[in-house]
Structure 1
Amino acid sequence: MEPSVTLNSGHKIPMVGYGTYLSKPNEIGECIRIALKEGIRHFDCAEVYHNQKEIGQVFKEAFDSGLVKRSDLFITSKLFATCHSKEHVRKHFDITLSDLQLDYLDLYLIHWPLAMEYNAAEPMKSPMENGYPKLAKVPIIETWRELEKIHDAGLARSIGVSNFNVSVLNDLLNSARIPPSVNQCELHPYWSQPGLRMFCEKNNIHMTAYSPLGKGSIMSDPVIVELAKKYNRSTANILCRFGIQKGYSVIPKSTTHSRIKDNANVKDFVISDSDMAILDALPQKRIIQPMNFWGFPLFD
């Protein structure tokens, strides 16, 4: 049986999913078909990935053919930082539903804990100011209130956030009517974020790792390679299994059939406590750095 956990909304999220970030047009559709055939039922999307229309067409094909029912899938999407103002939230949620050809989302997330100025010509790209995106004065709670309305309407069964630290989460929890169900973040043995995970656990917020493989950069670590040999598994399996045993869901991304199949194959083995401790002892290093793509240190 596909491992899953129950969110504070009462809905179940599969612990293994498929990430669609940076998957190219005319490529992502076939990847989704492969993932569905390999038994993956959790899919992570976002409007800013610019590929939701192609993904939606494949979902429709899968439903129409009887390969899966809508209720079999857990589908997430995200509101980008340029769309935080109340007049843009529902508009861009509706665009996502239309692109994905769905009647509802299982989970809708605030993608980043900051607001950027809206650019009508290119909604997914903020105007620049002094070399980095121009920020907008929109409180997170204003955006969250709009997500609560979407949830109340039954259009998003669960709502949550992404890239939120303890401070921003705590502020949101103090004001929210509906608490976030999920916080999606960078999580892997090189960046295990024990403090954030502890805070989320105490507040019944599930965590999802959007980079369980560390963007591929940690898969050659000798410790991880040796454990892969010991368990007769791929390094990706070790990294995904690490996350599952830590209690968070994982959404690895690949465009290769064999790797998509391999990433789905983490249910039937367990890493020992002693080997988990070895992974816990690896040096800590954040890999996703907004400084590299936005020009300012969001996480510092």
Structure 2
Amino acid sequence: IDSSLMYGNERQVGNLLGQYFADGRLTRDDIFVTTKVGHPPTQDFPDARTHYLYREDLSAYEGVMQEAVKSLDNLGLGYVDLLLIHWPGLFDDASRYPKDWAVKTPAKEVARRKRVEMWAGLERLYEMKLARAIGVSNF
């Protein structure tokens, strides 16, 4: 099952899984659940709670931790099989890349630091056994 806070489907998926678990149609071992955290706001998803990706005063580590806990709550699960950083790339105008990929800019340095913080959050969630595996998507 592929889900994400961005997709807005976790609560529905969780409700259905809960029904299937309750009536014995499925066990937790029957399914592989992936979800994603860390997607910046987009035109289709303007309410993303990922302000931590842009604001230097907010911790991306804490943001990822909070999003993961929210996802687990939405899904009604104690853990996910795979937790991904949804969009770990640069969070500014990607149309310039890779032309000036090697040029360091303040925005790139912030994005790099935020990726490191997000990854540390995923490692902690893995250590806490809230994710059986961690990775990145759209990199």
Give TM-score, length-normalised by structure 2: 0.69
Correspondence for 1:80 among 38, 44, 66: 38
**Of 127, 137, 147, the match for 2:110:** 137
Task: Report the Cα distance in structure 2 between the residues aligned to 1:78 and 1:69, rounded to whole angstroms.
Answer: 22
**Residue number in structure 2 paired with 1:53:** 11
Asked if residue 67 in structure 1 is aligned to residue 40 in structure 2, the reply is no
Counterpart of 1:101 (choices 69, 76, 92) is: 76
Q: CA deviation at 1:135?
A: 8.9
**Partner residue of 2:64?**
89
Question: How many angstroms apart in 1 are the aligned matches of 2:18 and 2:66?
Answer: 22
Counterparts of residues 1-300 of structure 1 (less than 5 Å): 43-82=1-40, 83=50, 84=53, 85-114=60-89, 116=91, 137-138=110-111, 139=113, 140-164=115-139
Give, in angstroms, the shift of residue 163 of structure 1.
Answer: 1.3
Contact 2:38–2:64, Cα closer than 8 Å, also in 1:
no
Give the fraction of aligned pairs with identical amino acids, expressed as a percent. 35
Deviations 1:128-159 (A, max 9, x none): xxxxxx99924212210110000000000000
Q: Secondary structure at the match of 2:6?
A: helix
Separation (CA, whole Å) in 2 of partners of 1:86 and 1:157 = 18
Secondary structure of the corresponding residue to residue 33 of structure 2: strand
Q: Deviations over 1:241-274 (max 9, x none)?
A: xxxxxxxxxxxxxxxxxxxxxxxxxxxxxxxxxx
Q: Which residue type is aligned with residue 84 of structure 2? A: L
RMSD: 2.2
Structure 2: which 5+ residue stretches go unaligned?
A: 41-49, 54-59, 93-106
Count how many residue pairs are aligned between Structure 1 and Structure 2.
Answer: 106
Give the TM-score normalised by structure 1. 0.33
Partner residue in 1 for 2:101: none
Maintained 8 Å contact 1:48/1:80: no
Instruction: Tell which structure's C-alpha radius of gyration is larger.
Output: 1
Structure 1 segments of 4+ aligned residues over 4 angstroms from their partners: none
Unpaired stretches in structure 1, ≥5 consecutive residues = 1-42, 118-133, 165-300
Distance 1:76 1:145, change over 3 A: same
CA deviation vs aligned residue, 1:30-51 (integer Å, no higher than 9, x gap): xxxxxxxxxxxxx111110011
Paired residues of 1:103 and 1:155 also in contact (CA < 8 A): yes
- 1:44 aligned counterpart, secondary structure: coil
Kindly state the Cα deviation for residue 81 of structure 1 after the two structures are TM-superposed: 2.5
